[in-house]
Structure 1
Amino acid sequence: MFRNDAHAATALVTGGRRGIGRAIALELATRGYDVAFTDAAGDSEAQATVEQIEACGRRALFVESRLEDVASHGRALDQIIAWAGAVDCFVNNAGIGSPVRGDLLDLTPEAFDAVLGVNLRGTFFMTQAVARHMLATAREGGPARSIISVSSVSARMASPERAEYCLSKSALPMLTRLFALRLAASGIGVFEVRPGIIRTPMTAAVAQRYEARFEQGLVPMRRWGEASDVAAAVGVLADGSLRFATGSVLNVDGGLSISAL
């Protein structure tokens, strides 16, 4: 049975239907947030996430929404605000990988536009909409407010066979810094969480390739990252204790991005 606490903090997680997004939604629920989440498909996976959030004793709302459809952002956010009253924590998690891995000299404009349309354009304009909402609904003495973007080690590590994905993720550190500067005076913490190689449905197709490379030391911790590792980082950033670190990046990659001789 979920609690209906009128003063509960509310989190909004994009791409929360499964994988890292679901783990983040559940982490925030265990920390006392009611959780709304969006995804492109409403199915049994989305329903399972709703049920798992409610099993944590919190309210849950799923809104079917495609992040690349910028014109729909307002409608989705209005539905969430009508349900929650306000959004206190916003997590940019939704994203897509390269449709086809291959030589960047063969990259098509269609693939480029599809990935940038979700991972950058959609993310920017949804963040803009939530930031406007947060500024318009400031609550004296209310919960900590935060915007957290889940990017990737590909924000700085180049993978030529996934050029459009790398380009889309490399823009998120700047998005974080820009919104951190714009919102700092209002006490809204803005952060980037940068995962490494995480065991998710998105990485299932290349799991064997990575298993072999872990044995060779690709990741200093010599294991997969788990969705719960990323979720734990988001939870710490959301609680307001690191607000003065606004604009910061937290690497969650087992040491993958550390340069070594």
Structure 2
Amino acid sequence: MSSTSEADPAAPGAPRRVALVTGGAGGIGGGIVAALTRRGFDVVVGDRTFRPGREADLREKADPAARIALVEGDIADLEDHPRFVDEAFTAFGRLDCLVNNAGVSVASRGDLLDVSVASYDTNFAVNTRAAFFLTQRVCRRMLAAEPHGAEGARSVVFISSSNAAIAAPERGEYAMSKAAVSMMAKLFAVRLAAHGICVYEVRPGLIRTPMTAVARDRFDALLAQGFTPINRWGTPEDVGRAVSSLAAGEVPFATGMAVQVDGGMHIHQY
């Protein structure tokens, strides 16, 4: 790991780094925003809409020294990406980290043979297509800017899912879209490594959020039977800690890897 220097953003007195977190208004995104602020980041929070008082809610768990900016935008609308990215970069004058957290899941779980074209297209439009083209545009801007600080100081983090690797036929379109995100992280890792930008994939497992409420009873019953080695629901804060550690540059000699934040659910057991 690189030693701390005057150019290192983590050095005392250095400017705070800046992260963009898509889908950051709540749920896992809110946990990521809070954790990043505690790691010395100012954060641009992107989301489709913000209800009144949302910024105050985010600040409750954030480092008081951090600045938070809100940028509205539907990342599935590719034509709006130029405006969205420009506002994200200009909010605090730079971006050092992109966290691709925004995503959708299935409206209701059901038979793989009944997946609709609309549900399939929505999952891929938001989880895969939007994340790819947003990362492409943000990274062009990052490469055009002077690098800030030490090795690993700039990063891209993709939030995928344990279903990127664990088959879930009752939410097949979601699982397929997240498997594509897993490969996307590897591809960008190869493309950006020479420029000192590390790319990571974080795979949350059972995380207690409004998105997982539809399956809460099912997984509560499984946890009662000892479903995972760390046998509990995860929290947005669990995911936030993992993301902020990666974004802080604490593993600069690694890129393209998947970090499982799932209580060990991915471990094959007999």
TM-score by length of 2: 0.91
Structure 2 match to 1:7: 15
The alpha-carbon distance between structure 1 residues 49 and 13, as it changes in their structure 2 partners (threshold 3 A), is: farther
What is aligned with 2:28? 20
Partner of 1:116: 124
- Report SS of the residue matched to 2:108: coil
Structure 1 pair 19/125, CA: closer, same or farther in 2 (3 Å)?
same
**Partner amino acid for 1:215?**
A
Of residues 108, 114, 119, the one that matches 1:100 is 108
Q: Does 1:65 align with 2:73?
A: yes
Q: Which of 29, 32, 43 in structure 2 is aligned with 1:35?
A: 43
1:215 equivalent in structure 2: 224
Q: Which amino acid aligns with 1:59?
A: R
Q: Secondary structure at the match of 1:192?
A: strand
Provide the residue aligned with 1:132 in structure 2. 140
Output the CA distance in 2 between the equivalents of 1:54 and 1:212: 34
Deviates more, 1:35-44 or 1:118-127: 35-44
Q: What secondary structure is seen at the aligned counterpart in 1 of 2:253? A: helix
Indicate the residue corresponding to 2:5 in structure 1.
none
| Other-structure match for 2:249 | 240
Cα contact 1:50–1:61 (8 A) shared by 2: no
Aligned length in residues = 257
**What secondary structure sits across from 1:190 in the alignment?**
strand
Could you tell me which runs of 5 or more consecutive residues in structure 2 were left unpaired when the two chains were aligned: 1-12
Instruction: State the Cα deviation string for residues 29-51 of structure 1 (Å, max 9, x = none).
Output: 01111100111122136333443
What residue is the counterpart of 2:199 in the other structure? 190
The residue aligned with 2:181 is 172
From the superposition, tell whether residues 184 and 175 of structure 1 become closer, same or farther in structure 2 (CA, over 3 Å).
same
Cα distance change, pair 49–36 in 1 and its aligned pair in 2 (3 A): farther
Q: Is the 8 A contact 1:12 1:87 kept in 2?
A: yes
Higher relative contact order (CA 8 A, sep 6+): 2
For residues 141 and 63 of structure 1, the distance between their equivalents in structure 2, rounded to whole angstroms, comes to 26
Aligned Cα RMSD in Å? 1.7
CA drift at 1:141: 3.2
Question: CA separation in 2, counterparts of 1:170 and 1:104?
Answer: 16
Q: CA deviation at 1:55?
A: 5.4
CA distance in 2, matches of 1:141, 1:29: 18
Q: Name the structure where helix makes up a greater proportion of residues.
A: 1
What CA deviation, in whole Å up to 9, does each residue of 1:108-130 have, x standing for no partner? 11111111100000011111111
Deviations 1:180-237 (A, max 9, x none): 0000000100000111110111112221221110011221211101111111100110
**Would the aligned equivalents of 1:196 and 1:252 in 2 still touch at CA under 8 Å?**
yes
Q: State how far apart, in whole Å, the 1-side matches of 2:61 and 2:73 are.
A: 19
Indicate the percent of aligned positions where both proteins have the same amino acid.
45
Aligned-partner SS, 2:32: helix
User: How high is the TM-score relative to the length of structure 1?
Assistant: 0.94
